[in-house]
Chain A
Amino acid sequence: MFEFLENPKFRGGIHAEEHKAETCDKPIAMNLPLPKKLYIPVQQHVGKPAEPIVKVGEHVLKGQLLAYSQGTISAPVHAPSSGVILDVQDFPSPHPSALPIRTIVIETDGQEKWFKYAIPEKPFELSPEEICLRVGGAGVVGLGGAVFPSAVKLNLGRKNQIHTLLINAGECEPYLTCDDLLMQERAGEIVSGIRLMLRGMNAPKAIVGIEDNKARAFSEMTEASNNFPEISVVQVPTRYPMGWDRQMLRYLTGKEIPADGRATDVGVIIHNVATAYAVYQAVCLSKPLISRVVTVSGGAVPKPQNVEVLIGTLMSEVLAFCGVENEKLARLIMGGPMMGEVLPHADVPVVKASSGILALSHEDIFEPEVKPCIRCSSCVTACPVGLLPLEMASRIKANKLDAAVDLGLKDCISCGSCSYVCPSNIPLVHYFKFASGELFSRQQREHKAEQTKRLAENRTHRMERIKAEAEEDARRVMEARAARQAAEAQAKAQEEKA
């Protein structure tokens, strides 16, 4: 009834300063020097960590399997260059706390000698199952940031009879241009990847959604897909968060994914454009995912550009390549400025999820003081989900987490639009993340309390049983003794009689 108040195509959103011009016209730099050491975490994806199969001291070739995937949702990792396995150790990961995780360290030998994989002669005639197998074997994961194993999604698409493959080339985060550059330079390969994905899922058509601030990428992609009527390339308006997959799906198909469901419920599977490129490499060239394009930008970067980086390269080396001076660096971020995570230092490896490394200067991160909320409801207008950020934050401030959940806290996607527009500079997303963390630990505590209670109850039962058994035993002994005594007495009496 009140749908007229809602934009039929796009919900909420903001226009942020793009900062894409710094990097979007420069070719992808392919000349990053080969690092002496590469640090490859065994967990770079959603799901179970990969299990190492190489031994310390072993020599590996470029592209060779280092750790295999475990379980249904997992992905393998491969050697980004040839060299010797130095160690399998805990090493800081690109995480806000630099949490150490299991990491394979390779000392490179500079030979860059490839491991020989058989290259399929007719990749487009492979069976769908074979395509999925190859994608999974190459360690391809969602490169838009979600790092969900792509083969799992392809299989899901095949089983669910989807009608559309949506390629998300929104790249709505400011600063980031890695997908843009990939489309500008390697559109043909991406289109091949999309065709392979369609085949892998038995899906009839694909739509590529590109924000209209990427004119060159759009024309390259349109040209590359000219001969393939099943692929349509569409421009979408530049408005953050257009790259939120559910937003783009709604914009392009008019359909909405149920809150408790996924894209397959409306017959769609969504993949990132860089993933399509990785699929092409995995299937057509038998190249595992060992490198990716990373945007290096920000006010503290004298030479902002996109760089093709081997997975496992330390970020400090990438920053040094782009001329970053440590004095100017105020904040280091992996990902975009709207949703990226702060890193405490740059001595962490580039992983499959690293779409961008932003070295922001003090001028970039203008932080005025936090003022009281004036209920201007800018955050309500900006929220793409349809939440009431100001109300949720006030509940969380009063420590009423359940009330915040009632308002839809769990539907929040942390896109940051609310914090971005807040004229009082209230760190709304910070409140929501805090509350989500609190809810999680509360759940854990409740779980623990339940477990403790169960154990305590079991123990009581056990003790009671033991006690009862002991009593039973004692009684039996007593009875036996009484019977024996009675028998003895009887025997004695008979003896005396006799």
Chain B
Amino acid sequence: MNAKPISSPHISSARRVDEIMRKVIFALLPALGFGIIIFGWSALFLTFVTVSSALVFEAICLKLKGSAIESYLLDGSAIVTGLLVAMTLPPYAPWWIGVVGSGLAIILGKHVYGGLGQNLFNPAMLARVALLISFPIEMTTWVNVSPFFTGLDILEGFKITFSGAEISDAITGATTLGFVKTGFSQAQLLPDLLSDYSGFLAFIGWERGSLGETSTLLILLSGIWLMRQGVIQWFIPVSLLATVAVLSTLFNLIDSTHYLSAWVHLNSGALMLVAFFIATDYVTSPNTPLGQLIFGTGCGVFIFVIRSWGGYPEGTGFAVLLMNSVTPLIDHYIRPRIYGRTRDGKPIEGG
């Protein structure tokens, strides 16, 4: 018999942190697997390097902090961060980009704030943006789709990732967003710029892009599965995607020569991955439904603004970091209504 003062409740739900993380990892696998299939060996090597270095950095930080390494390392949060960093990298990026990305995410993005649950910014987006600014060439070299056994063999793939082999210009190109942005700067106009574009291929993910971001279809399915599993709620993904869709449709109607349609926006860049896996990060998003709607809408607005009028073709990373920084403010002002009280906290009138 235990006579310690123990508070109720005496039972708890079976769902634990590591189970949530396992579900997120499981949900990431289809899009990641698709990316590895269409980009070949180098993508596989890069994923391996990024995830394993994330685990090593996590272990070092935990050791320095003096916490129990085992239980935290196995909770899966470092694997999720590593996977997300890998999925946002160009598939032929050299190994050290993956290592630096993981280091930025785990050390600067998470542990300097105090570890799991304490960080202000999403670690994977922090790493992506820092890498993009620091190593613009490596971070914007996009390769053509070249699935296993049709593209580079294992040795060539290994050389690309690990020994800085030259990537021939013949197999690289621009992403849709990048191509359009460059075209605008050369006074080209829209319908012509997209003459090679296939909306269907973009939807299934058969296009140039980051390792795990190309397949709208697979990410969408995983995201819906996560919602049905109760791991994420609909507020952020729906408000984010709806905002981008509404804004792009609106501007496309006004001037279809300078503004991409909603379909192109929704199927380009990191939008889907961000909507379902990055913006929904528990730690860095608001904790009330209304706050999450504001957060998602804000992300959507910034993404559209940066894509349409900013210097970078893709704005998801910046948008998420900007909204991360206002999350504490949103949480301060947006609170749920307490039973028997109005939103401003006064008791409701009787009767």
Contact = CB atoms under 8 A, between A and B. Distances in A.
Interface of A: 2, 5-6, 11, 14, 16-17, 96, 174, 246, 250, 256-261, 265-267, 326, 329-333, 337-342, 344-345, 358, 360, 364-366, 368-369, 371-377, 380-381, 383-388, 390-391, 407-408, 411, 414, 416, 419-425, 427, 429-430, 433
B348 to A, nearest CB: 5
B258 interface: no
Contacts of B293: 5
Given A5-B289, A372-B115, A331 B340 contact: no
Nearest to B75: A371
A340 B8 contact: yes
B8 A371 contact: no
Contacts of A333: 8, 10
A266 B11 CA distance: 34
Nearest to A14: B13
Nearest to B1: A329
Given A261-B347, A345-B1, A386-B336, A5 B290 contact: yes
22 contacts: A2-B290, A2-B343, A16-B11, A16-B13, A17-B11, A257-B340, A258-B349, A265-B350, A329-B1, A331-B10, A340-B8, A342-B5, A344-B3, A345-B1, A365-B10, A371-B75, A372-B115, A374-B17, A374-B20, A388-B335, A411-B339, A423-B16
B336 A256 contact: no
Interface string B328-347: 00010001111111010101
A374 B2 CA distance: 30
Interface stretch (B50-58, B184-192, B280-288): B280-288
B12 interface: yes
B66 interface: no
Given A341-B8, A372-B115, A422-B12, 10 more contacts: A246-B339, A260-B347, A261-B347, A339-B9, A364-B11, A372-B118, A374-B17, A375-B117, A380-B288, A387-B338
Contacts of B289: 5
B116 interface: yes
A342 to B, nearest CB: 5
Nearest to A408: B338
A373 B17 CA distance: 9
B67 to A, nearest CB: 10
Contact of A420 (B13, B341, B348, B351): B13
Nearest to A387: B338
A5 B71 CA distance: 37
B6 interface: yes
A412 to B, nearest CB: 10
Given A375-B283, A377-B288, A390-B287, A246 B340 contact: yes
B12 A411 contact: no
B19 interface: yes
Interface string B281-303: 01100011110010000000000
Nearest to B287: A377
> Which of B6, B331, B347 is the most central at the interface, judged by chain A CB atoms within 10 Å of its CB?
B6
Contacts of A385: 338-339
Contacts of B5: 96, 342
A337 B335 contact: no
Given A17-B11, A423-B17, A261 B282 contact: no
Contacts of A341: 8
Given A371-B17, A386-B337, A338 B11 contact: yes
A314 B77 CA distance: 50
Contacts of B340: 246, 256-261, 411
Contacts of A374: 17, 20, 77, 116-117, 282-283
Interface in B48-88: 71, 75, 77
